[in-house]
Amino acid sequence: AQSVTQPDIHITVSEGASLELRCNYSYGATPYLFWYVQSPGQGLQLLLKYFSGDTLVQGIKGFEAEFKRSQSSFNLRKPSVHWSDAAEYFCAVGPSGGSYIPTFGRGTSLIVHP
Amino acid sequence: GAGVSQSPSNKVTEKGKDVELRCDPISGHTALYWYRQSLGQGLEFLIYFQGNSAPDKSGLPSDRFSAERTGGSVSTLTIQRTQQEDSAVYLCASSATQGTEAFFGQGTRLTVV
């Protein structure tokens, strides 16, 4: 069965600092990978996705993520964090192969200090 | 519609009552998912609909939970005899086909008192 691990429950950064949120997955084949963001009281918004091809993907709001097959990772990065980036971030393994149900990590809460 | 729409946005109900939560997916999307998000927790899969196929109900936590999808579009999640542990945000998502990204609604916050 596919699974997603986000090892950091909370991350605190200063505004303007760089950010990396970790995501590791377990899946038997090449997965579809996603990062979503959830602001308080809101649904989830897609930041970026990886299906195939270039392993460095660009998303909205200045975010990027890199798929590393050898490490089973899909870490999310941003070079300079803004206060408005404070939110909950979810990594997900998408429907692929025999399992059509996206599996989500437990999320990482990003706190941004001024 | 432009996005996934869920109603109501908030629901407070008394323990033991039944509730119905509604989801309007993006027009033309064949796949529809229900997830539950409890306070401080990730997303717990509940049920998945794909076209006219039989739904995948493997995530439903008990037989008090059921869902249907009429005409391949609108879906209703029903919780019978609600319990306090059912309090959570219920999220609906749809995707164009299997394997593509899911688009989420704003969720329904259910509080059982």
CA gap B60, A76 in Å, rounded: 31
- Contact of A1 with chain B, judged by CB distance below 8 Å, is answered with no
Mean pLDDT of B63-79: 94
Per the CB < 8 Å rule, is B99 touching A100?
A: yes
| Chain A residues within 8 A of B48 when measuring between CB atoms | 100-101
Check residue A46 and give its pLDDT.
94
Residue A15 pLDDT more than 80? yes
Q: What is the pLDDT of residue B42?
A: 84
Find the DSSP H helices in chain B: none
Count of A–B CB contacts within 8 Å? Answer: 55
pLDDT surpassing 70 at residue A108: yes
- Indicate the residue of B41, B99, B106 with minimum beta-carbon distance to A43: B106
The pLDDT of residue A69 is above 70: yes
pLDDT of residue A100: 74
pLDDT, tens digit, 9 for 90 and up, residues A16-51: 999 999 999 987 677 889 999 999 888 899 999 998
Give the per-residue pLDDT at B83. Answer: 97
Contact B42 A102 (CB under 8 A): no
* A90 shares contact with chain B (CB less than 8 Å): yes
A26 touches chain B (CB under 8 A): no
Rounded to the nearest angstrom, the minimum Cα separation between B16 and chain A is 26
- Residue A96: the pLDDT is 59
Mean pLDDT, range B41-56, rounded to an integer: 90
Contact flag B56-A100 (C-beta cutoff 8 Å) = yes
CA atoms within 13 A on the CB side of A64: 10
Whether the predicted pLDDT of B94 surpasses 90: yes
Cα separation of A14 and A42, whole Å?
A: 24
| Residue A36 or residue B99, greater confidence | A36
Average pLDDT, integer, range B90-109: 89
Task: Name the residue among B102, B3, B31 with its Cα closest to residue A32.
Answer: B102
**Which of B43, B95, B104, B106 would best serve as a mutation to test chain A binding (most A beta carbons within 10 A)?**
B43
Report which DSSP code applies to A52: S
**Which residue on chain A is closest to B6 by alpha carbon?**
A43
> Does the pLDDT at position A62 exceed 80?
yes
> Which runs of E-coded beta strand occur in chain A?
3-5, 10-14, 19-21, 24-26, 33-38, 44-50, 56-58, 64-68, 73-78, 87-93, 103-104, 108-113
Give the model's confidence band at A79: pLDDT under 50 very low, under 70 low, under 90 confident, else very high: very high
pLDDT at A95: 64
Look at residue A3 in the predicted model and tell me its pLDDT. Answer: 87
How many of the other CB atoms lie within 10 Å of CB of A79? 11
